[in-house]
């Protein structure tokens, strides 16, 4: 299991960010302004906002070194805003909306022989509906992440006592483990929250049909019942019976951290191996590129 956790933790995405003309000092440049960056799958994309803005600083219509409380930045993919408060890997799997094996061929950049996700950076005084504005930069992001862990702890244990007992030093170590990609420190603290016999499993299901949506299903674990440990298929069939009619469909799959997940695996076993840095298990529903019903 340690090897699987390490592979999940070290997974990355190649991003190509282009600057939207509305954010430029001069918006009639012939060539697009772009930058390339590789980021961990299991992180918030806004972790890298400062790096990206610094690369664009000579073209931006504002000074990034000054306070700009009335101006917001956000990313879009094919004119759809990205919700920064979900792991970038889950957004990628969901918004591209096709299974990894098909995606490799469709999104392949022929020049670099790399799978590159092309995003656009926007700037404005009003952000799109549904996006959380970032006012206090990293501190706000850290507080949101802490809230997610408190919620995950409550779902797992029936209370948030385990995570609420963390000292400020523990919280800082936990946060640093995410920012500095220290899996050992992350696991040490995550294991203090995760019980061996959970009451429920914290899961978020992402779907991009007919538009972006998410569900937080109630997944109860009954340790005394013969069938008290639901599988991935049980969960998806319960939430989306019209899509997951069978375990053997070749047209739709469950993807987690870029990996196609066998539907017969127990949901808590999957959680132990694939949980994301915010304490939740993020599942993306992806379709075959040949499935015209959903694309």
Count of domains for the chain: 1
Does a structural domain hold residue 66?
Answer: yes
Which one of 50-59, 117-126, 167-176, 214-223 scores highest in mean pLDDT?
167-176
Q: What percent of the chain has pLDDT over 70?
A: 87
pLDDT for 165:
97
Mean pLDDT in the chain?
88
Residue 273 vs residues 5, 157, 267, 276, 295: alpha-carbon distances, Å: 6, 18, 10, 9, 30
Task: Say yes or no to pLDDT of 97 above 70.
Answer: yes
CATH of the domain at 85: 3.10.20.620
Does a structural domain hold residue 191?
Answer: no
Of the two residues 240 and 99, the one the predictor is more confident about is: 240
Does a structural domain hold residue 192?
Answer: no
- pLDDT tens for each residue of 76-93: 999 999 999 999 999 999
Does a structural domain hold residue 279?
Answer: no
Nearest to 272 by CA among 159, 156, 170, 172: 156
- Sequence-distant (6+) residues with CB within 8 A of 259 are 8, 100, 274
Domain membership of residue 88 as a residue range: 12-134
Does a structural domain hold residue 30?
Answer: yes
pLDDT for 125:
85
């Amino acid at each position: 299991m340690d090897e699987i956790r390490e592979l999940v933790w070290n997974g990355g995405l190649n991003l190509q960010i282009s600057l939207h003309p509305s954010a430029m000092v001069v918006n009639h440049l012939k060539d697009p302004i772009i930058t390339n960056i590789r980021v961990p799958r299991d992180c918030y994309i806004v972790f890298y906002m400062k790096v990206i803005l610094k690369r664009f600083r000579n073209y931006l219509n504002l000074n990034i070194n000054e306070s700009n409380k009335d101006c917001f930045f956000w990313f879009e993919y094919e004119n759809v805003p990205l919700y920064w408060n979900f792991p970038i890997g889950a957004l990628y799997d969901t918004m591209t909306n096709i299974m990894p094996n098909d995606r490799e061929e469709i999104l392949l950049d022929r020049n670099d022989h790399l799978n590159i996700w092309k995003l656009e950076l926007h700037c404005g005084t009003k952000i799109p509906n549904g996006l959380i504005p970032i006012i206090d930069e990293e501190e706000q992001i850290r507080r949101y992440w802490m809230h997610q862990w408190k919620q995950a702890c409550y779902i797992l244990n029936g209370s948030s006592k385990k995570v609420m007992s963390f000292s400020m030093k523990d919280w800082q170590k936990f946060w640093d483990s995410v920012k500095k990609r220290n899996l050992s420190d992350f696991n040490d603290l995550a294991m203090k929250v995760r019980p061996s016999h959970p009451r429920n499993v914290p899961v978020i299901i992402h779907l991009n049909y007919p538009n972006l949506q998410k569900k937080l299903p109630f997944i109860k674990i009954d340790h005394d019942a013969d069938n008290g440990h639901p599988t991935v298929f049980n969960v998806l069939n319960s939430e989306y019976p019209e899509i997951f009619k069978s375990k053997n469909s070749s047209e739709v799959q469950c993807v987690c951290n870029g990996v196609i997940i066998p539907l017969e695996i127990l949901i808590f076993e999957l959680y132990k191996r694939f949980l994301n840095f915010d304490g939740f298990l993020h599942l993306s529903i992806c379709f075959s590129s040949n499935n015209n019903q959903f694309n």
